[in-house]
């Protein structure tokens, strides 16, 4: 499904939210499947060149770490994930109601954002 969303011409970014990384706590098989899925998601994001941010209740899970290794930012707070998408090159300019984009010194900045931020 992520590939279909990223391939859609009307999609400029994707925000995924949920329990990703938490299913691995139920069994080793589910943990392995989550890590494999994270690797596949990372490849899709790299190949499609559209920003994706992940919000999960398990940002320190092995699956979340796999996403981050592949350049996909993972956030603990949905607000941070959503805000990060507005900071990618090509994003519309912020409105006065929007919080500023992260800087290199922001405590919640993820590596993937910093790599694209000027």
Band of pLDDT at residue 90, cut at 50, 70 and 90: low
Cβ-contact 42, 72 below 8 angstroms = yes
pLDDT at residue 91, rounded to an integer: 61
Cβ-contact 70, 63 below 8 angstroms = no
pLDDT at residue 86, rounded to an integer: 82
Residue 44 burial (CB count, 10 A)? 20
The predicted-structure confidence for 48-67, as pLDDT tens digits, reads as follows 888 999 999 999 999 999 99
Cβ-contact 70, 45 below 8 angstroms = yes
| Half-sphere exposure at residue 108, Cβ-oriented, CA atoms within 13 angstroms | 17
* pTM to 2 decimal places: 0.73
Contacts (Cβ under 8 Å, ≥6 apart) of 17: 54, 55, 56, 78, 81
Residue 109's closest CA among 90, 81, 89, 86?
81
């Amino acid at each position: 499904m992520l590939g279909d969303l990223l391939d859609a011409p009307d999609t400029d970014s994707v925000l995924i939210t949920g329990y990703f990384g938490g299913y691995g706590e139920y069994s080793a098989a589910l943990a392995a499947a989550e890590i494999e899925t994270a690797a596949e998601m990372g490849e899709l994001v790299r190949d499609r060149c559209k920003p994706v941010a992940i919000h999960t209740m398990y940002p320190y899970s092995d699956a979340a770490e796999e996403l981050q290794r592949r350049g996909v930012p993972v956030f603990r707070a949905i607000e941070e994930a959503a805000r990060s998408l507005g900071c990618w090159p090509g994003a519309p300019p912020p409105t006065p109601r929007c919080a500023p984009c992260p800087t290199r010194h922001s405590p919640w900045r993820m590596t993937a954002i910093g790599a694209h931020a000027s």
